[in-house]
Structure 1
Amino acid sequence: MGTKIGCLAAAAIGLLAQQASADPFSDLAALPTFYTDAAMKTMKPMAEFRKAWFAMPKRDRTKMTKTCNDPAMSKPHAEFCANLQALGGAN
């Protein structure tokens, strides 16, 4: 009985961790590098945005690109995704 409960608990924790990391915008500490202010309300100019984008690891850029391609996920980050699309969705 104890083994079953332990396995179920481990599976539940795994599923919760996977759901929590579904939004790459909430996971990345690098996201503030795209903004001019600490409140992350004003995007940097495109030249600086591009530099910050290509400074990120490819794995993180791929996650963000996929998120921006999902209309439901990209809506809260519309300005960021618009800049990404202007770069051609570059990976």
Structure 2
Amino acid sequence: MNIKMLTMGAIAFAMMTGSALTGGNTSALDDPAKMSPFFTDAGMKTMKSEADFKAAWTAMKPDEQKAVLKDCGDATLNKSHADFCAMAKKMGG
């Protein structure tokens, strides 16, 4: 009985730790509040024109721009946001 309880406790702890780690590692690229000004649709599939993108980019705070560019530097995140990252790099360096 004790081994069963210890095993269940260990599994529960592992599950809580795993979800805490993934929950704390969010990307600026996945934040709808930050990203919606760059897209024409609610599903964020169609980007705005370059001029509108530039206006939205310059409206962002410099630290938010840095966070976006940092996330675009991550190969995994860049892969799923390639078009956006290409335009962001064009705007911000």
Tell me the alpha carbon deviations over residues 1-39 of structure 1, each in whole angstroms, 9 at most, x when there is no partner: xxxxxxxxxxx59755532x3x11223512111001111
Q: Determine if contact 2:28/2:34 at 8 Å carries over to the other structure.
A: no
2:77 alignment counterpart: 73
Q: Quick check: 2:78–2:85 contact (8 Å CA) kept in 1?
A: yes
* Unmatched tracts of structure 1, length 5 or more: 1-11
Deviation (angstroms), 1:44: 0.4
For the aligned residue pairs, the C-alpha RMSD in angstroms reads 2.2
2:24 corresponds in structure 1 to 18
- In structure 1, give the amino acid aligned to 2:40: T
Q: Which has the larger radius of gyration?
A: 2
Aligned residue pairs, count: 78
Cα gap change, 1:55 to 1:33, in 2 (>3 Å): same
Does 2:59 match 1:55? yes
- Does residue 37 (structure 1) correspond to residue 41 (structure 2)? The answer is yes
Q: Render the CA deviation track for 1:37-73: whole Å, top value 9, x for unaligned.
A: 1111110010100110110111111110011112122
Counterpart Cα distance in 2 of 1:35 and 1:75: 18
In percent, how many aligned pairs have the same letter? 36
Query: Structure 1's 24 and 36: CA in aligned 2 closer, same or farther, altered over 3 A?
Result: same
The separation in 2 between residues aligned to 1:45 and 1:66, in whole angstroms, is 23
